[in-house]
Amino acid sequence: MIGYTHVTKRFGPLKAVDDVSLDIAEGEFVAIVGGSGSGKTTLLRLANRLIEANGGSITVEGEDVRSVDPVALRRRIGYVFQSGGLFPHLSVADNIGITPKLLGVAAADIAARVGELLDLVQLDGTAHRDRLPEALSGGQRQRVGVARALAAKPRIVLMDEPFGALDPLTRDALGDDYRSLHRKLGLTTVMITHDMTEAILLADRIAVMRGGKMLAQGTPAELSKSSEAYVLELLRTPRRQVERLNALLPQSGSV
Amino acid sequence: MSLFADPRWGEALSHLADYLGNHVRVSLAALALGLVVSLPLAILTRNRPAPRAILLALASIVQTVPGLALLALFYPLLLLAASVTLAWFGASFSAFGFLPAMLALALYSMLPVLRNGITGLNGIDPALIEAAKGVGMTPQQSLVMVELPLALPVMMAGIRTAAVWVIGTATLSTPIGQTSLGNYIFAGLQTQNWVFVLFGCFASALLALAVDQLLGLIEGGLRRRSRLRTGLGAVGIAALVAATLVPTMGRSSQSYVVGAKTFAEQYVLSALLRDRLQAAGLSATSRSGLGSSVIFEALKAGDIDLYVDYSGTLWANQLHRTDIKPRAELLAELKTALAKENITLLGELGFENAYALVMPKKRAEALGIHSIADLAAHASTMSIAGDYEFFSRPEWAALQKAYGLSFHAQRQMQPDFMYAAVASGEVDAIAGYTSDGLIAKYDLVALDDPRHAIPPYDAILLLAPKRAGDERLQAALKPLLGKIDIATMREANLRASGNDANSSPDAVARWLWEKVGKR
């Protein structure tokens, strides 16, 4: 569904993405993991041409993105922004319905679609649809963000650290809910995260980036065979956390 | 007597529809023009730091020009433009009143609109602009659906600031011929009619508040997406404009306009001329408070039909002469020169309003000062005050040269305050006017000018080129020629300087006619 071939993106002298190749199959859930400045967000934004590559080629659903009108491309790819990116002056319903509206869908059809989407992301439609984003909790906002990304029935969803700013309970619930949506709707999802635990729990396949380079990609099992010390270190982190938690919380038995 | 029982409130109220209507129209037109220019500029330069900086710097420079000066600058500029269009296209426009006032005020409104527009648009969280792009908006859609709505509160704050500024500054457009609430303030200041000054201040403050609140209503409506509020605010503004249009609908454009400069004598004389025309069955209005350089150009262009000027003033300012001739010769030469511009010098009213050096009678006697020559001996330890133009006029240079005058200090003052200042000893001498009634009131003396350094200043009646052959007009005015002697004019001016109901220009003009009409 998405193919990166020897892609390079420079910001001045800095190579934010350096000769990266990555193929994402239909229906796959891929997490791109890396620290800040690793180039993971840049890689994601190249897919719907929020930024343009300097070298290499990118295909989406078999088409070279450079041959597609960027606005049309973005309308058919769902995008979930870090901390929501909801428009503060628009109601929940208007935020969710924005892409269908841009596509010229009739108002009544948009209203019906908004209702479906609110159910899908498990928000109470009657209570929430006319509220402004400021009246929602962080978790609710991100659910609206997911609903907005799905509004125009995209086959691909890009997510930029979607759950990063949420409290752990909300984060777990939202991650699980999204994972089931991904399956139910047959989506192809690319998610950016700095959290390896989240990546392992949600994604089918993980790509690890550092300093603009793709260090390794594969299932968690495949990654554990990597020769890169950084990749192994990242993979060890979740287990080490569990061990420390077990030591600190002996009465709970296991976490 | 209670403050509000003063009949001048009633007189002030009778002008309200005219003054307020003109004020609203020029302010809102200026504001609309300012918005139409500034908002697109703010939008175009929002992502371009260099043009943005230049634009804001230019707007700031305009703002540092005092409002009165900016308004005054537009008059000669437009006059030039009008003469160019006349030469090139054979058509011209009036450089007087509405147009220069509106353009200057529009320029004045630009800074807050631009600055707040740019600040509002640049203050938007970049993540939201990215989100707009990410959900599939084109740049135009992003601007209309996300950026402008989010910048709206800051932009509206700028528009409201601009509205208040423009309405306040519009009071200064009176001297360039735009009728406004400033007419109350200028007339009140010149004729010491504090009722008028207060009335003008309150009216313009109330207008500014009302417009600000209506814009606030529109802003709230836009922000809360309430059509009701937006509609109410818009209807309010439209109603304000419509209400100001109604009283002026029936006004005849055929009426004669009598001009007056910005001092009491001129207000009285223009009221007198207007009354004479009306008595002769002609429709006439007065346009008061015009700047000294504006009024002659306005006559030449036909924006006003007649006014009273002074021979020496035109001699120096229009003919640019520095030599001094005997009275009759100067008048004859002036008449010929004006005739070349098709301006009719109908005749003299009979008195002179010349500059004169004035000091308290007792002090002059104590020091043995009778003439300017005597004053020169004491000048080095004395201070002198003059009006805003006196020290840059040729008369002052001529006086200094003829008598070797050199004062310890010189100050500029509002003419009406000069006499009190010299009477109280705040300054030692003033450059006063010979026809001023305050000379007698404060027991002052006008010093002789034995070397004739000051030219004659006969009050003369001028008619616009388009009225050159107007027999009815001339017949209505002829009875005034040569009838007003200096003593009568001084008394009239003294009456006008009072602070009661009988001191209004209209009342004094009636008194003056009773006095001279039967002569």
For A87, the closest of B128, B133, B138 (CB atoms) is B128
Residue B263 DSSP class: S
Report the greatest alpha carbon distance in chain A: 60
Q: Please count the residues of chain B.
A: 519
The closest alpha carbon to A214, from A11, A2, A62, A21, belongs to A21
Beta bridge partners of B348: B460
Q: Please count the residues of chain A.
A: 255
For B136, the closest of A81, A83, A99 (CB atoms) is A99
Beta bridge partners of A78: A157
Which helix or strand (DSSP H or E) is residue B60 part of? helix B49-64
Probe site for chain B from A98, A103, A142 (most B CB atoms < 10 A)? A98
> B130 and A86: CB-CB below 8 Å?
no
Residue A151 has pLDDT above 90, yes or no: yes
Distance from CA of B142 to the nearest CA of A (A): 11
Q: How confident is the model at residue A78 (pLDDT cuts 50, 70, 90)?
A: very high
Quick check: A9 and A15 in contact, CB under 8 A? yes
* Number of cross-chain residue pairs from A and B with Cβ atoms under 8 Å apart: 52
Quick check: B107 and B67 in contact, CB under 8 A? no
Residue B294 has pLDDT above 80, yes or no: yes
For CA atoms B467, B470, B476, B477, give the dihedral sign.
positive
> Cα(A35)–Cα(A215) distance, rounded to whole angstroms?
12
The closest alpha carbon to B476, from B283, B307, B279, B257, belongs to B279
A162-206 confidence digits (pLDDT tens): 887 788 888 888 899 999 999 999 999 999 998 898 999 999 999
Instruction: Check residue B458 and give its pLDDT.
Output: 93
Quick check: B351 and B433 in contact, CB under 8 A? no
> Cα(A175)–Cα(A173) distance, rounded to whole angstroms?
6
Q: How confident is the model at residue A50 (pLDDT cuts 50, 70, 90)?
A: very high
The structure tokens 């120096």 sit at: B316
Q: How far is CA A26 from the centre of its chain?
A: 15
> Cα(B237)–Cα(B390) distance, rounded to whole angstroms?
44
For CA atoms A199, A200, A206, A212, give the dihedral sign.
positive
Instruction: Check residue A251 and give its pLDDT.
Output: 64
E strands, B4-129, in order: none
> A74 and B149: CB-CB below 8 Å?
no
Q: How confident is the model at residue B76 (pLDDT cuts 50, 70, 90)?
A: confident
Quick check: B98 and B21 in contact, CB under 8 A? no
Residue B252 has pLDDT above 50, yes or no: no
Q: Pairing between strand A156-160 and A55-60?
A: unpaired
Mean pLDDT, residues B22-40 taken together:
92
**Residue B339 CB contacts under 8 Å (≥ 6 apart), including other chains:** B345
Residue A70 has pLDDT above 50, yes or no: yes
Distance from CA of A87 to the nearest CA of B (A): 7
Instruction: Check residue B247 and give its pLDDT.
Output: 56
The total of other beta-carbon atoms located within 10 Å of residue A69's CB is: 10
Beta bridge partners of B84: none
The structure tokens 């950016």 sit at: A192
> Cα(B505)–Cα(B261) distance, rounded to whole angstroms?
13
The total of other beta-carbon atoms located within 10 Å of residue B317's CB is: 16
Residue B253 has pLDDT above 70, yes or no: no
CATH topology of domain A2-254: Rossmann fold (3.40.50)
Instruction: Check residue A253 and give its pLDDT.
Output: 52
> A81 and B150: CB-CB below 8 Å?
no
Quick check: B386 and B413 in contact, CB under 8 A? yes
Residue B1 has pLDDT above 80, yes or no: no
Quick check: A111 and A93 in contact, CB under 8 A? yes
> Cα(B298)–Cα(A76) distance, rounded to whole angstroms?
66
Q: Which residues of chain B does A75 touch, with a Cβ-Cβ cutoff of 8 Å?
A: 135-136
> Cα(B153)–Cα(B140) distance, rounded to whole angstroms?
20
> Cα(A179)–Cα(A203) distance, rounded to whole angstroms?
8
B392-441 confidence digits (pLDDT tens): 887 888 889 999 988 999 899 887 788 989 999 999 999 999 888 888 88
Q: What percent of chain B has pLDDT over 90?
A: 41
For chain A, give every domain's residue range.
2-254
Q: Using DSSP, state whether B474 is helix, strand or coil.
A: helix
Per mean pLDDT, which of A187-201, B49-63, B72-86 is the most reliable?
A: A187-201
For A74, the closest of B134, B149, B150 (CB atoms) is B134
The structure tokens 């005050």 sit at: B385
> Cα(B168)–Cα(B483) distance, rounded to whole angstroms?
42
E strands, B413-496, in order: 429-433, 444-446, 458-463
The closest alpha carbon to B169, from B236, B102, B216, B112, belongs to B102
Q: How confident is the model at residue B5 (pLDDT cuts 50, 70, 90)?
A: low
For B136, the closest of A71, A86, A87 (CB atoms) is A71
3 state SS for B355-376:
EEEEEEHHHHHHHCCCEHHHHH
Q: CA B379, B383, B387 angle in degrees (round to 5)?
A: 115
Q: Which of these ranges, A51-65, B6-20, B275-289, B440-454, has the smallest mean pLDDT? A: B6-20
Q: Pairing between strand B409-412 and B429-433?
A: unpaired
Q: Dihedral through CA A114, CA A116, CA A117, CA A121, nearest 10? A: 140
The structure tokens 């109603």 sit at: B239
Q: Which residues of A touch B (CB under 8 A)?
A: 48, 50, 71-72, 74-75, 79, 81-83, 85-89, 98-99, 102-103, 148, 152
> A103 and B136: CB-CB below 8 Å?
yes
Residue B233 has pLDDT above 90, yes or no: no
Quick check: B464 and B259 in contact, CB under 8 A? no
CA distances from B77 to B71, B86, B95, B101, B103 (A): 10, 14, 8, 12, 11
Instruction: Check residue B2 and give its pLDDT.
Output: 57
Residue B382 DSSP class: -
Distance from CA of A109 to the nearest CA of B (A): 18
Higher pLDDT among residues B3 and B371, named by residue: B371
For A98, the closest of B127, B133, B135 (CB atoms) is B135
| Amino acid code (one letter) for A150 | L
Residue B180 has pLDDT above 70, yes or no: yes
> What pTM was estimated for this model as a whole?
0.74
Across chain B, mean pLDDT equals: 87
Mean pLDDT, residues A137-141 taken together:
90
Q: How confident is the model at residue B13 (pLDDT cuts 50, 70, 90)?
A: confident
Residue B205 has pLDDT above 90, yes or no: yes
Q: Which residues of chain A does B127 touch, with a Cβ-Cβ cutoff of 8 Å?
A: 81-83, 85
Q: Using DSSP, state whether B348 is helix, strand or coil.
A: strand
3 state SS for chain A:
CEEEEEEEEEECCEEEEEEEEEEECCCCEEEEECCCCCCHHHHHHHHCCCCCCCEEEEEECCEEHHHCCHHHHHHCEEEEECCECCCCCCCHHHHHCHHHHHCCCCHHHHHHHHHHHHHHCCCCHHHHCCCCHHHCCHHHHHHHHHHHHHCCCCCEEEEECCCCCCCHHHHHHHHHHHHHHHHHHCCEEEEEECCHHHHHHHCCEEEEEECCEEEEEECHHHHCCCCCHHHHHHHHHHHHHHHHHHHHCHHHCCC
Token couple for B414: 């509002």
Q: How confident is the model at residue B254 (pLDDT cuts 50, 70, 90)?
A: low
Quick check: A189 and A183 in contact, CB under 8 A? no
Across chain A, mean pLDDT equals: 90
B277-291 confidence digits (pLDDT tens): 999 988 888 888 888
> A75 and B136: CB-CB below 8 Å?
yes
Instruction: Check residue A255 and give its pLDDT.
Output: 47
Instruction: Check residue A118 and give its pLDDT.
Output: 93
Q: Dihedral through CA B331, CA B332, CA B336, CA B338, nearest 10? A: 10
